[in-house]
Chain A
C-alpha cells in the first residue's frame, strides 16, 4: 500500500516552454502533497505544500508564479514549471501523506514518495 506515482519520469524541453509533472497517490487518498527539488548529492529541498482544494503554500524563495501547483483531487497534484530555463533543470520529487488510522485527529505523520522526475531544460 501507499504507492505514489509520478509522470513523466524524465523530460527534456526547450528554454521558455512549460512543463507539467503529475503526482498521483494510487491506493490512498492524499489530503496533502508535497513537492521537493533535489540537486545532485544533496538533500531534498521542500518547494511547496499542497492541500486538496486549496492554494499551495510555498517555501521562502520559491517563485509561485514560476512553479504552479494544483491539487484538484485527493489523488492528483500537478507541478507546472512555467517558462523553464536551464537553471530549472533538476530532479523533482513529490510525496503524499494520509491520515493516521484509528484516530479522528487529522494528523499526517508519514510521507510516501513518488519516483521523481528528471527535468532537463536546454
Chain B
C-alpha cells in the first residue's frame, strides 16, 4: 500500500521568507502523480501544484516549486516570498496511474507571520 508522510506538523516563518515543506512517500509503482493541496481557514481545498513522476523537470507555479527526487521518494514544496495568504494547512498527496484514489499525508500547518 502507498503511504505519504509529512514529518512537519507545524511550521512558522516571517512574511517574505522562503519555506520548504517536506513530503516522502512509499510505493512500488513507477507511474504516478504527486500533488500539493492547500487548505486555508475557509477549508476549501486548493490545488497548488502537480508533478508527473515520468517528468524529470520539477514543476513550478509562480512562487511555488517542488523538489522531486524520485529515487529518494521525496517531494518537497518550496514557497518563495511567502505571503500572509499562504497561511494554511498543506497536504501532500499521491496517486498511481490507473488508480482513482488520492493518498494524503497528515498535513503541515504553515503560518506566515507579519
Chain A residues within CB distance 8 Å of chain B: 32, 34, 38, 42-44, 46, 49, 91, 93, 95, 97, 107-113, 115-116
Q: How far is the CB of A5 from chain B (nearest CB, A)?
A: 11
Question: Taking CB as reference atom, which chain B residue is nearest A93?
Answer: B45
Q: What's the dominant secondary structure at chain A's contact region?
A: strand
Q: How far is the CB of A109 from chain B (nearest CB, A)?
A: 5
Q: In the complex, what distance in Å separates the CA atom of A110 from the CA atom of B35? A: 8
Q: In the complex, what distance in Å separates the CA atom of A38 from the CA atom of B43? A: 10
Question: Taking CB as reference atom, which chain A residue is nearest B9?
Answer: A41
A95 and B45 contact, CB distance less than 8 A? yes
Chain A residue contacts of B33, Cβ below 8 A: 109-110
10 contacts between A and B (CB under 8 A): A32-B100, A34-B100, A43-B104, A43-B105, A93-B45, A97-B100, A107-B97, A109-B50, A110-B35, A116-B43
Chain B residues within CB distance 8 Å of chain A: 33, 35, 37, 42-47, 50, 52, 91, 95, 97-98, 100-102, 104-107
Q: In the complex, what distance in Å separates the CA atom of A62 from the CA atom of B41? A: 27
B50 and A107 contact, CB distance less than 8 A? no
Question: Taking CB as reference atom, which chain A residue is nearest B104?
Answer: A43
A109 and B95 contact, CB distance less than 8 A? yes
Chain B residue contacts of A116, Cβ below 8 A: 43-45
A44 and B104 contact, CB distance less than 8 A? yes
Given contacts A107-B98, A109-B50, A109-B95, contact A115 B42 (CB under 8 A): yes
B45 and A43 contact, CB distance less than 8 A? no
Q: How far is the CB of A60 from chain B (nearest CB, A)?
A: 12
A115 and B44 contact, CB distance less than 8 A? yes
Q: In the complex, what distance in Å separates the CA atom of A71 from the CA atom of B48? A: 27
Q: In the complex, what distance in Å separates the CA atom of A26 from the CA atom of B100? A: 20
Q: In the complex, what distance in Å separates the CA atom of A81 from the CA atom of B104? A: 24
